[in-house]
């Protein structure tokens, strides 16, 4: 049992009964009880097999009690987009930086300000699987919850951005719940930014009602000695559609869990994820798809490039339940290692209990395509430059698939400059 | 040693792939503006020659020398040879998804310009040139945005090769079985493109199995490559002779003896 | 349609008979005294007993594994008898004539005649019955070539240095719970040594039979192929039909020295239990080989039996340019559970491995592929190709794939692919429309699905494996 973990439990206990926190007690106490029966992970814990939690155990980050100096922190500007902002600073909702005026059919409310708190409490933590230790910690320690709700048949064209900003040495726990009612459409972008040694858990649950459509982006671009464990968890009702795009740069510890749970037929999801790691960074992505009902379609493309002494972990599980006939599910994971100190551990899993399904997964770890490298060289391009081009191309294929071109345009140069840094070494 | 009038000089070249000798004493001299056809049966080493000259990994030079414009070719990296004006049009151009054709073309043109002490071309100018080149080789401009050769048909890939040639303006073009997999219409488009690029400053090595291509690209010289050596050289009429007789006459006598024995 | 297919797959377990043989069997239970007695009966040297006791102490410290996706009641290790041998074997028969005819009949009934004249020429057999080796055939012929093929209990006396040097060198005592148990209580098994530069003149084969009730079988096999040698080794196993579960926890160690090649084939047909999952063998086996420079180890397995199979024949590719292969067909039906796969540990440069796994699940069974491919930092230019295909028959079974892929070398290339499919109505219709009955149709489709693996089996075994699947489909559609 780590000291940090036991302290966290004590701190969670201290939050129960506080005036502004009391309403969350049902969720919090349940989590505390579960956590007390949960062992702190070690190397033998399958979900943490390749990802040691030393940087959590040794963190110097702590929860900030004072008001933040807002001038220091602000969500990054994405040229061409003025998102509807939902901003958390050091784990607390920041009304000053969040959007006030909202389009019709969209509501964004802080849980504690809700009249119908019980409705939110019922929904909260029902999608996120219980097995996730840090998900439970987030339940136990989060102090604010934001509920983003898109009304029936409403289409919100402007992307909604949930920002998790951390100041120096801050510990934060961010929690959001998103519901898209029947036929609703929205684009949601989750981003985190942190300075210095920080520790953050950020969990967002998405409830997609019948025929709802969600375009989702989660960018974990904070590097350095930031420690971040979080998740995006989706429940899809009949005919719902999800297009999720994840980009991860590693840090001291960067762990992301995504779960897609089909609750209604004829829903579909596409998950594209990219990880680009350098230095001593670590990135760990666990993606689980639960096909609990028939006739749903999943497509997953996961690509990563790992340089220097960095380590990447990918676990992609597709679970086809007994009744989930006519499921189509495909997962493809491709990796490039750029250095002999870099490491990739990948585990695509299929667990299938229905016979009339088409499922496949593939995983490769390879070096750069030598034929392509030669081809570029015969056109006068230097080996080093050709390598950068090919690496970029490998990743760019997935960026090209992002449905929002403005976001894709914004991402591309960041990826490119990351490659250029990676190649310099 | 360098002869001003010789662009490419291959002297007693021996080369191997995976420790197997493929090129076994090849000699060839090409002057600026000349078109040389190299014909021969399958396995004679025709494609290997292009790979050895361009510097592909795994193609080892065992002995002999090659100079391009007086410079020792084997002193140069693959990309330096390209910048020095050697261009290989591939038989099967590789697909590079995710890298756009335009990005690729600009990078290669800029690399060659930089090597010649020129400044990088502006994006606007380059786009103009590239669009013109597209038109010349009859490729839709939209191909510039697609991944390099990604999902291109056989003919489109060959035309994409030709477009690169137009933009890079090389001194020596090696066309490796450019006719393979092309129907007659596509062949004509490619041949016209090549012919439009013929000039006093540009030489060609046209590697082909069939005479057909040479109906459209008239060579100054024809060489027959067999078992890693040039066994016969002549003018364009040699190609017609080969067409009529096939390559079987090239089989050396002892082989037949062995068969009988 | 599914029902038809399922019926077609249902079968009698032909090897399920019990031989009436009087045996000396230990009382159930396990402690140091049992191990001492066992060692004494075998007349083992002191060091061997010490080794066993050390392993026993290690095992006692270890925790019984709790595997995901495998479900069975806890094993009572004190309820198992750790030694059982036919009484007639007490005086160590000198030749086949002295062997109890009932024993010979048992093997004959299983299709393994031990009379050399009746045997397939070119296959030498070591027949292991419960805890002892009954007979090893063609030994003279093998001795001429310098090949040692004998029960491991005999090798301990005749070749103690070889055994001492290599026993536990590939699978260390602590490797896992069942390997440790095996180290403590193993009874018999085969020992093979192929001298330098020798191509073993015949196929070597060990046939394992569990007969006695409430016994466990803990065999140990050690194969050493010296530099530049070659051997093909086959292993078969059956047990009577009983309502109780029986434990089979074997350890197989292969050592392929420089330029040597070992081909190890298994047709595993332990009693799988009945339709409702009653009875059957728990088959918890550790098999591993080490490849030195330019060496090759090829594992081929056809797993059709056992109530629970837990088995990962693996290769440690230590030497440069060494090659590891794993070809597997696992068929589960009824309530069988199979968790099988391989580990390919690439240490040397340019090492190569190929994994082809075919899982067929029917009835209410669960069939998992679990594998590990690891490229260590030294595995420059190494390559792996893995193909895992699952075929589901019916909607009550499960097919799972759990591959661990770990790479630490940028020039190593790993490719892993997995697919699932079913015997489709269209396929069945086509076959039937062309005049095939459903049994033949399923058998053809299943055989086609497994073809890549069957072609790796030695001829004699390919026939047996084909027959195993055939038998299962024969005469059962009413």
Distance from CA of residue C120 to its chain's centroid? 21
Nearest CA in chain B to A384: B79
Q: What residue segments make up the domains of chain A, in order of their start?
A: 83-367, 370-425
Nearest CA in chain A to C364: A353
Which residue in C119, C124, C152, C314 sits closest to C232, CA to CA?
Answer: C124
Task: Return residues 91-130 of A near C (CB < 8 Å).
Answer: none
Whether C144 maps to a domain, the answer reads: no
Which residue in C346, C397, C403 sits closest to C370, CA to CA?
Answer: C403
Nearest CA in chain B to A375: B94
Separation in Å, CA of B250 to nearest CA in chain A: 33
Which two three-digit tokens encode residue C475? Answer: 């005469």
| pLDDT recorded at residue C411 | 92
| pLDDT recorded at residue C477 | 29
C400 close to A (CB below 8 A): yes
Which residue in A204, B97, A404, A360 sits closest to C401, CA to CA?
Answer: A360
C422 close to A (CB below 8 A): yes
Asked whether C371 and C338 are in contact (CB, 8 A), the reply is no
| pLDDT recorded at residue C102 | 75
Which of A306, A345, A351, A355 has the most C C-beta neighbours within 10 Å, making it the best mutation to test the interface with C? A355
Q: Which has the higher per-residue pLDDT, C37 or A294? A: A294
Q: How does C94-111 read in b/e, with b if 16+ C-beta sit within 10 Å? A: eeeeebbeebbebbeebe
Contact criterion met (CB < 8 Å) for C397 and A354 = no
Residues of A with CB below 8 A from B96's CB? 369, 372, 375-376, 390, 393
The sign one gets for the Cα dihedral C276, C246, C400, A132 is positive
Contact criterion met (CB < 8 Å) for B83 and A380 = yes
Q: What are A's interface residues with B at a Cβ cutoff of 8 A? A: 369-372, 374-383, 385-386, 389-390, 392-397, 400
C-alpha distances in Å from residue A91, one per residue of A59, A193, A322, C226 = 16, 12, 40, 65
pLDDT at B4 over 70: no
Determine the straight-line distance between the first and last CA of chain C, rounded to whole angstroms.
Answer: 13
Contact criterion met (CB < 8 Å) for A378 and B54 = yes
CA pair distance C424, C446, nearest whole angstrom: 12
Number of Cβ within 10 Å of residue C190's Cβ equals 28
CB hemisphere CA count around A31 (13 angstroms): 29
Asked whether A360 and C415 are in contact (CB, 8 A), the reply is no
Which two three-digit tokens encode residue C316? Answer: 């440690």
Residues of chain A with pLDDT under 70: 1, 66-71, 423-425
Pairing of strands C323-332, C308-311: unpaired
pLDDT at C164 over 60: yes
| Owning domain of residue C403 | 2-6+24-91+164-190+206-225+233-477
Residues of A with CB below 8 A from B87's CB? 378
Q: Angle B123-136/B154-168 helices, nearest 10 degrees? A: 130
Question: Are 3 or more Cβ–Cβ pairs between B and C shorter than 8 Å?
Answer: no
Which two three-digit tokens encode residue C18? Answer: 């019990």
A358 close to C (CB below 8 A): yes
Average pLDDT value over all residues in chain C: 84
CA pair distance C281, C297, nearest whole angstrom: 27
Contact criterion met (CB < 8 Å) for B56 and A374 = yes
Note the pLDDT tens digit of each residue in C262-308.
Answer: 999 988 887 888 878 788 888 889 999 999 999 999 999 888 888 88
Chains that touch B (3 or more CB pairs under 8 A): A
- Determine the number of helices (DSSP H) and then strands (DSSP E) in chain A: 8, 19
Number of Cβ within 10 Å of residue B131's Cβ equals 13
pTM of the model: 0.86
Which residue in A232, A226, A176, A222 sits closest to A199, CA to CA?
Answer: A226
User: Torsion angle of alpha carbons B225, B228, B229, B230, nearest 10°?
Assistant: 20
Residues of A with CB below 8 A from C370's CB? none
Nearest CA in chain A to B174: A378
| pLDDT recorded at residue C107 | 72
Note the pLDDT tens digit of each residue in B124-145.
Answer: 999 999 999 999 888 999 999 8
CA pair distance B251, C135, nearest whole angstrom: 62
Question: How many A×B Cβ pairs under 8 Å?
Answer: 82
Number of Cβ within 10 Å of residue B164's Cβ equals 23
Whether C97 maps to a domain, the answer reads: no
The C-alpha angle with vertex A364 and arms to A359 and A369, in degrees rounded to 5, equals: 130
Asked whether C331 and C453 are in contact (CB, 8 A), the reply is no
Asked whether A178 and A205 are in contact (CB, 8 A), the reply is yes
A355 close to C (CB below 8 A): yes
Q: pLDDT class for C118, splitting at 50, 70, 90? A: low
A67-71, B55-59, C310-314: least confident range? A67-71
pLDDT at C204 over 50: yes
Asked whether A120 and A177 are in contact (CB, 8 A), the reply is yes
Which residue in C56, C253, C53, C294 sits closest to C169, CA to CA?
Answer: C253
Which neighbouring-strand residues pair with B256? none
pLDDT at C15 over 60: yes
Q: pLDDT class for B258, splitting at 50, 70, 90? A: very low
CA pair distance B204, B88, nearest whole angstrom: 10
Contact criterion met (CB < 8 Å) for C412 and A365 = yes
| pLDDT recorded at residue C280 | 84
C399 close to A (CB below 8 A): yes
The sign one gets for the Cα dihedral A293, A212, A127, A275 is positive
Residues of A with CB below 8 A from C416's CB? 348, 361-364
Residues of C with CB below 8 A from A355's CB? 2, 392-395, 397, 422
| pLDDT recorded at residue C273 | 81
Whether C245 maps to a domain, the answer reads: yes
pLDDT at C473 over 60: no
Which two three-digit tokens encode residue C115? Answer: 């009379």
Chains that touch A (3 or more CB pairs under 8 A): B, C
Contact criterion met (CB < 8 Å) for B108 and A380 = yes
Q: Which has the higher per-residue pLDDT, B109 or B250? A: B109
Pairing of strands A311-320, A328-337: unpaired
Residues of A with CB below 8 A from C69's CB? 351
Helix (H, G, I), strand (E, B) or coil at C288: strand
Helix (H, G, I), strand (E, B) or coil at A347: strand
Which of C4, C390, C407, C412 has the most A C-beta neighbours within 10 Å, making it the best mutation to test the interface with A? C407
Which residue in B253, B206, B174, B209 sits closest to B40, CA to CA?
Answer: B209
| pLDDT recorded at residue C115 | 66
State how many domains chain C has. 1
| pLDDT recorded at residue A118 | 86
Separation in Å, CA of C463 to nearest CA in chain A: 29
A352 close to C (CB below 8 A): yes
Separation in Å, CA of C259 to nearest CA in chain A: 28
Helix (H, G, I), strand (E, B) or coil at B117: coil
Contact criterion met (CB < 8 Å) for A393 and B147 = yes
Note the pLDDT tens digit of each residue in C94-114.
Answer: 676 777 777 777 777 777 666
Which residue in C129, C13, C31, C26 sits closest to C77, CA to CA?
Answer: C31
Number of Cβ within 10 Å of residue A1's Cβ equals 8
Q: pLDDT class for B254, splitting at 50, 70, 90? A: very low
**What's the CATH code, domain B3-93+170-260?**
3.40.50.300
* Percent with pLDDT over 90 in chain C: 36
Q: What is the DSSP letter of B148?
A: E
| pLDDT recorded at residue C381 | 94
| pLDDT recorded at residue C103 | 72
Residues of A with CB below 8 A from C405's CB? 344-347, 363, 365
């Amino acid at each position: 049992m780590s000291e940090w973990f036991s302290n966290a439990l004590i701190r969670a206990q201290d939050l129960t009964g506080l005036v502004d926190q009391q309403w969350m007690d049902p969720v919090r106490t349940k989590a505390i009880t579960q956590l007390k029966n949960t062992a702190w992970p070690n190397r033998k814990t399958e979900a943490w097999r390749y990802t040691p939690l030393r940087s959590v155990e040794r963190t110097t980050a702590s929860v900030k009690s004072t008001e933040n100096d807002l001038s220091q922190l602000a969500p990054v500007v994405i040229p061409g987009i003025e998102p509807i902002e939902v901003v958390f600073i050091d784990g607390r909702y920041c009304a000053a930086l969040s959007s006030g005026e909202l389009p019709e059919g969209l509501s964004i409310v802080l849980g504690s300000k809700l009249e119908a708190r019980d409705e939110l409490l019922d929904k909260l933590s029902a999608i996120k699987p219980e097995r996730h230790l840090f998900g439970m910690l987030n339940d136990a320690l989060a102090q604010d919850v934001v509920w983003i709700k898109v009304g029936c048949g409403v289409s919100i064209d402007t992307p909604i951005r949930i920002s998790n900003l951390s100041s120096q040495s801050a510990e934060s726990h961010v929690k959001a719940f998103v519901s898209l009612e029947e036929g609703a459409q929205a684009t949601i972008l989750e981003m985190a930014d942190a300075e210095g040694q920080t520790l953050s858990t950020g969990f967002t649950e998405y409830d997609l009602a019948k025929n709802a459509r969600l375009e989702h982006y989660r960018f974990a671009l904070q590097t350095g000695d930031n420690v971040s464990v979080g998740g995006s968890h989706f429940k899809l009702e009949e005919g719902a559609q999800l297009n999720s795009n994840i980009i991860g740069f590693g840090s001291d510890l960067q762990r992301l869990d995504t779960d897609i749970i089909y609750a209604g037929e004829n829903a579909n999801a596409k998950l594209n994820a990219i990880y680009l790691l350098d230095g001593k960074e670590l990135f760990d992505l666990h993606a689980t798809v639960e096909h609990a009902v028939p006739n749903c379609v999943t497509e997953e493309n996961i690509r990563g490039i790992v340089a220097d002494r960095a380590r990447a972990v990918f676990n992609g599980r597709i679970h086809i339940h007994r009744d989930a006939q006519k499921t189509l599910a495909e997962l493809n994971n491709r990796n490039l290692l750029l250095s002999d100190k870099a490491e990739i551990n990948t585990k695509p899993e299929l667990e299938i209990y229905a016979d009339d399904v088409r499922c496949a997964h593939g995983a490769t770890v390879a070096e750069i395509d030598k034929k392509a490298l030669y081809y570029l060289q015969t056109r006068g391009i230097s080996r080093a430059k050709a390598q950068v081009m090919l690496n970029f191309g490998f990743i760019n294929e997935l960026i090209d698939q992002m449905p929002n071109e403005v976001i894709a345009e914004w991402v591309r140069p960041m990826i490119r400059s990351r490659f250029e840094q990676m190649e310099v070494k | 040693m360098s002869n001003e009038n010789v662009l490419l000089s291959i002297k007693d070249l021996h080369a191997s792939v995976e420790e197997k000798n493929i090129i076994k004493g090849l000699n060839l001299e090409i002057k600026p503006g000349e078109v040389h056809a190299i014909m021969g049966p399958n396995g004679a080493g025709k494609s290997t020659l292009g790979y050895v000259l361009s510097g592909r990994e795994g193609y080892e030079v065992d002995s002999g020398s090659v100079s391009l414009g007086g410079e020792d070719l084997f002193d140069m990296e693959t990309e330096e040879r390209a910048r020095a004006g050697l261009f290989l049009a591939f038989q099967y151009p590789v697909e590079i998804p995710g890298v756009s054709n335009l990005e690729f073309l600009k990078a290669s043109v800029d690399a060659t310009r930089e090597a010649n002490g020129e400044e990088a071309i502006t994006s606007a100018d380059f786009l103009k040139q590239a669009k013109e080149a597209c038109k010349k080789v009859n490729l839709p401009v939209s191909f510039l945005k697609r991944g390099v050769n990604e999902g291109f048909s056989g003919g489109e890939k060959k035309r994409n090769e030709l477009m690169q040639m137009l933009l890079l303006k090389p001194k020596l073009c090696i066309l490796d079985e450019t006719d393979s997999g092309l129907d007659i219409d596509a062949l004509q488009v490619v041949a016209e493109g090549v012919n439009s690029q013929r000039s006093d400053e540009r030489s060609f090595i046209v590697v082909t199995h069939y005479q057909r291509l040479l109906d459209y690209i008239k060579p100054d010289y024809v060489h027959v490559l067999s078992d890693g050596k040039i066994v016969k050289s002549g003018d364009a009429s040699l190609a017609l002779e080969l067409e009529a007789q096939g390559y079987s006459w090239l089989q050396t006598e002892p082989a037949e003896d062995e068969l009988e024995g | 349609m599914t029902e038809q297919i399922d019926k077609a797959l249902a079968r009698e377990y032909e090897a399920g008979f019990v031989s009436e043989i009087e045996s000396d069997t230990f009382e159930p239970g396990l402690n140091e005294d049992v191990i001492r007695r066992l060692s004494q009966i075998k007349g083992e040297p002191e060091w061997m007993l010490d080794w066993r006791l050390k392993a026993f102490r290690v095992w006692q410290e270890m925790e019984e594994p709790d595997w995901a996706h495998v479900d069975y009641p806890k094993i009572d290790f004190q309820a198992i008898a750790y030694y059982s041998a036919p009484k007639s074997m007490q005086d160590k028969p000198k030749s086949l004539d002295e062997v109890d005819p009932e024993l010979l009949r048992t093997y004959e009934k299983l299709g393994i005649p031990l009379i050399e004249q009746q045997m397939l020429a070119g296959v030498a057999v070591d027949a292991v019955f419960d805890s002892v080796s009954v007979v090893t055939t063609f030994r003279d012929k093998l001795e001429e070539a310098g090949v040692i093929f004998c029960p491991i209990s005999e090798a301990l006396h005749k070749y103690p240095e070889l055994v001492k040097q290599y026993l536990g060198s590939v699978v260390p005592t602590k490797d896992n719970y069942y390997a440790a148990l095996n180290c403590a209580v193993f009874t018999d098994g085969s020992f093979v040594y192929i001298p330098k530069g020798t191509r073993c003149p015949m196929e070597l084969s060990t046939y394992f039979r569990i007969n006695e009730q409430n016994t466990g079988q803990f065999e140990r096999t050690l194969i050493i192929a010296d530099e530049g040698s070659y051997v093909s080794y086959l292993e078969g196993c059956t047990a009577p039909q009983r309502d109780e579960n029986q434990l089979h926890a074997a350890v197989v160690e292969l050592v392929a020295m420089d330029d040597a090649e070992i081909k190890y084939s298994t047709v595993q047909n332990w009693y799988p239990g009945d339709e409702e999952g009653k009875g059957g063998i728990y088959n918890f086996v550790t098999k591993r080989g080490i490849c030195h420079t330019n060496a090759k180890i090829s594992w081929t397995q056809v797993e059709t039996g056992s109530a629970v199979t837990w088995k990962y024949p693996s290769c440690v590719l230590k030497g440069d340019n060494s090659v590891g292969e794993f070809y597997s067909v696992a068929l589960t039906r009824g309530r069988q559970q199979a968790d099988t796969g391989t580990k390919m540990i690439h240490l040397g440069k340019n090492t190569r491995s190929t994994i082809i796994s075919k899982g067929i699940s029917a009835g209410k069974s669960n069939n998992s592929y679990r594998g590990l491919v690891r490229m260590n930092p030294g595995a420059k230019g190494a390559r792996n190709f893995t193909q895992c295909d699952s075929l589901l028959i019916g909607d009550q079974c499960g097919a799972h794939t759990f591959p661990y892929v770990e790479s630490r070398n940028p020039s190593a290339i790993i490719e892993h692919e997995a697919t699932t499919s079913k015997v489709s109505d269209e396929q069945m219709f086509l076959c039937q429309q062309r005049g095939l009955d459903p049994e033949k149709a399923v058998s053809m489709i299943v055989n086609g699905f497994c073809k890549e693996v069957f072609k790796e089996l030695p001829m004699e075994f390919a026939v047996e494996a084909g027959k195993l699947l055939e038998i299962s489909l024969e005469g059962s559609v009413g």
